[in-house]
Structure 1
């Protein structure tokens, strides 16, 4: 528990175990599994991720290593209380996944090179050493996370593995660790610094040896405030703190030691505990009750060391260790870089090859990504996005140099020329980044961060503004969405996609007057665009402006006689006219004593209803024959329902439900069929099913209203 309330230690144990277990599979287990194989002249195709001096790294090995790397990131994000899902979404998420793969492949290449070096130098690791170190790491793991072996076994079983497999993974990882350490020791050779070397190192790094203020404290941790008050009362009456800690504290790691937490500096404990502990003035002082996420604490200050800078003699041993480690790291890094550069390494996966090139040389990586895009070697639709990101980085470098030169009070002529050159470079890179992003947006789903990048490069970019509005609409933020559409229209009153997006959103909200004005404005820009005409037809029908519908449908049919949408539009017009005729017919039928004129109108209307019904059915059936969607089946069902042909209506609605159970309009239609037959229970069943399947709020409200009408309880 003592470690449990240290900062960032609130961890989901099973995730830590899983990340450790999966992440612990090192080179040697992969090698034993057959993931690393000697290359042969008969192999071809993308079977391998890389070939390192003849040793092949399989794609299976890379995928496993990438999963391991991602699990480590997940564990880290979990510790920080963050959601890694936010990092993995959208275009940025695709680039992050590529980064994960690159990290994993680099680690696998490193393992292969170390293994090859160990083999060349005859370096081995004994089984005894592996077993001893593995046992020590296992015990440390249990202590660190304050869990028993049985608890660990339970966690592992939940993760689908066993304690034995977990221990094997530790041995495998330890074997890799020990072999790596021995190779590094041999490569670095002996390092024996002189006294002068150490003193010079100390002076150069003196700030790193500064000691912050530290305190030593003990605590008693209990579950509830009432118990904490009782303990505090006993302490005030003179009771022994250590005795009460042993009797009451639920911190099993410290209770038997009087609650002693040892020495710690700021930043090691959760904030509430830290503030209270460092706020105690004198040795022996006891705090009031301190509430944290772990429970209720009472803290006793038992020691304090002020911040200070030690002398060389005080930290000489530490300085020696640091000096030796730093020199060893330098030698190993130089050796590895030379080894890597001199090795024959072939990256078989094109995107990974381009990404790894980019890490060393932006221009080389850019050229490789551009080559892949040109040749179609990869089908990844985010390639233009990766290219755009590189251009953005190049623009940022140019901007940094530009800022430094502009900060000079009296630049030289050469520097002035460079300023003009850099300004041109920066604008050129930004333009290329924008072009690449817009290219990507034609093939991938837009996300807010991606669109934000586009708008940062060109705040008035109409396409990105409209796409961002659509994204906000999908998130339910209709006000912000319409603001983006209106902004695009203001910036360019001829930009049709903005009118259409605004009109579509207005339809979604049931604001048909706004939709009408937006679609009509779009049609002014594209007078012969039948797709806009179809949108207007639906709006006119919703507003019962049947005269406008008739004119527009005639225009559509004249412009495109064979267009199936025009045929369907005629059906929509006939259905709207049928609805009006049926409403008038039912109104006249409801009169007790109709006049002669009304009797004549009744006869005329019945004939009109029959004609319109047949026309709508004919048009919709023709649309279905020519490849229409299930929307037409729903419309056809509604026509039959309106005309009282209940069996035909039921057939259409059931056909829709059979083929697509989540088409909620069919449940509404089928419910209405049952209502007309007097079967309220069957109607309610369909309305309730439609309600549970609905996604749009308007649909749920409609179903909810029908349910409440039939079953107010």
Structure 2
């Protein structure tokens, strides 16, 4: 139903096509997984470790586009292997800076985060399958990512708290960045999509009888994009849905059931909120400005601190994907 979802899907497909080479890179000769590809302080990163992280990075990228990870997609990102190495090096540098600042990983939070993720799946097998579709070889790799993510996140948050800005600085930023705080009119809507008016009448009768909107939506709505969200479409701008639905969303009464027929079927909908467009006031924008300036200051601070970490990268080693090594052959450490 939702043209916005269709637009996003098309944009994701286009972005994926634009960011990936059109032909996979040719396989290279087997490479030693113990080859050093980077040094960050006293820590070395081997080719084998890089390849594992490369899979995870690629998995994250394709998952954001709604595509599950598979071995087939790896070669399409070969031109970004050096960029991914640089991201990995920066991440390791941040972990070292966090440790140097006296921060340590919190095992309790790591366990809680992993447990929370597992709760979204019916079994350990489903969880493992989901990890693999995200590029993680196993739960241990996911645990490492969670550990490092929580640690560096806490470190960055601690830095952001250091930076405070007075009213003059905040207002000056607002004046020079007003375009960033221009709001568009939006409507917040929930709906239940059914096949015909008879089914819509049944939905309305159930609502009149006191049943919850979300419960009915999860049971009968034919919109897969909002069914599991209790029919909630969130808030969207005018023009992002088909005309009939758009008109009801932006001109119909608030907090009142409406019924509209579109090319997708019959919608029983309710508009919970509308916001007008225009430039946000300084008071409305101030919290976001504080957050933006703190992020910029923290980023500059980290860039300066990372310059003090001895970093070496050997991009030529990761420029092309490594072919699988013979597991029966012992690997010998090798320095570039």
Which TM class, normalised by the smaller chain length?
A: 0.5 to 0.7
Match of 2:79 in 1: 98
Query: Mind listing any 5+ residue stretches in structure 2 that lack a counterpart?
Result: 11-31, 321-336
Alignment partners' CA distance in 1, 2:146 and 2:188: 35
Q: Of residues 53, 59, 73 in structure 1, which corresponds to 2:47?
A: 59
**Equivalence map 1:121-200=2 (5 Å):** 121-136=101-116, 142=120, 149-150=121-122, 153-154=125-126, 156-157=128-129, 168-185=140-157, 190-200=162-172
State the Cα distance separating 1:249 from its structure 2 match.
3.1
State the Cα distance separating 1:45 from its structure 2 match.
11
Alignment partners' CA distance in 2, 1:127 and 1:87: 32
Q: Of residues 198, 220, 241 in structure 2, which corresponds to 1:249?
A: 220
**Equivalence map 1:666-677=2 (5 Å):** none
Are 1:74 and 2:62 matched, yes or no?
yes
Are 1:264 and 2:245 matched, yes or no?
no
Match of 1:317 in 2: 287
Could you say what secondary structure the match of 2:279 adopts? coil
Match of 1:339 in 2: 308
**Equivalence map 1:312-391=2 (5 Å):** 312-336=282-306, 338-339=307-308, 343-347=310-314, 349=316, 352=319
State the Cα distance separating 1:252 from its structure 2 match.
5.4
Alignment partners' CA distance in 1, 2:124 and 2:198: 35
Q: Of the two, which has the highest radius of gyration?
A: 1
Q: Residues 462-511 of structure 1, C-alpha deviation per residue, up to 9 Å, x if partnerless?
A: xxxxxxxxxxxxxxxxxxxxxxxxxxxxxxxxxxxxxxxxxxxxxxxxxx
Contact 2:192 2:267 in 1 (8 A): yes
Relative to structure 1, the CA distance from residue 166 to residue 188 in structure 2 (aligned partners, 3 Å threshold; closer, same or farther) is same
State the Cα distance separating 1:122 from its structure 2 match.
3.2
Match of 1:112 in 2: 92
Contact 1:218 1:299 in 2 (8 A): yes
State the Cα distance separating 1:152 from its structure 2 match.
7.2
Could you say what secondary structure the match of 2:183 adopts? coil
Match of 1:607 in 2: none
CA-based RMSD: 4.4
Match of 1:448 in 2: none
Contact 1:287 1:299 in 2 (8 A): yes
Q: Residues 121-172 of structure 1, C-alpha deviation per residue, up to 9 Å, x if partnerless?
A: 3321222233344445556xx3xxxxxx2167436358879xxx96655442
Match of 2:18 in 1: none
Could you say what secondary structure the match of 2:308 adopts? helix
**Equivalence map 1:558-577=2 (5 Å):** none
Could you say what secondary structure the match of 1:288 adopts? strand
State the Cα distance separating 1:230 from its structure 2 match.
0.8
Relative to structure 1, the CA distance from residue 84 to residue 291 in structure 2 (aligned partners, 3 Å threshold; closer, same or farther) is farther
Could you say what secondary structure the match of 1:150 adopts? coil
Contact 1:290 1:298 in 2 (8 A): no
Relative to structure 1, the CA distance from residue 166 to residue 329 in structure 2 (aligned partners, 3 Å threshold; closer, same or farther) is same
The structure with the largest helix share of the pair is 1
Relative to structure 1, the CA distance from residue 169 to residue 268 in structure 2 (aligned partners, 3 Å threshold; closer, same or farther) is farther
Alignment partners' CA distance in 2, 1:45 and 1:252: 46
**Equivalence map 1:566-645=2 (5 Å):** none
TM-score (norm 2): 0.65
Alignment partners' CA distance in 2, 1:115 and 1:136: 23
Aligned pair count reads 282
State the Cα distance separating 1:234 from its structure 2 match.
5.5
Alignment partners' CA distance in 2, 1:229 and 1:297: 9
Query: Mind listing any 5+ residue stretches in structure 1 that lack a counterpart?
Result: 11-43, 143-148, 354-713
Relative to structure 1, the CA distance from residue 287 to residue 5 in structure 2 (aligned partners, 3 Å threshold; closer, same or farther) is farther
Alignment partners' CA distance in 2, 1:350 and 1:267: 50
State the Cα distance separating 1:78 from its structure 2 match.
4.4
Alignment partners' CA distance in 1, 2:149 and 2:239: 28
Could you say what secondary structure the match of 1:56 adopts? strand
Q: Of residues 237, 246, 251 in structure 2, which corresponds to 1:278?
A: 246
**Equivalence map 1:387-536=2 (5 Å):** none
Q: Residues 293-324 of structure 1, C-alpha deviation per residue, up to 9 Å, x if partnerless?
A: xx764333343222122221233333322322
State the Cα distance separating 1:55 from its structure 2 match.
2.3
Could you say what secondary structure the match of 1:289 adopts? strand
Contact 1:46 1:349 in 2 (8 A): no
Quick one: higher RCO (CA 8 Å, sep 6+), 1 or 2? Answer: 2
Relative to structure 1, the CA distance from residue 128 to residue 78 in structure 2 (aligned partners, 3 Å threshold; closer, same or farther) is closer
State the Cα distance separating 1:286 from its structure 2 match.
2.2
Q: Of residues 209, 230, 236 in structure 1, which corresponds to 2:198?
A: 230
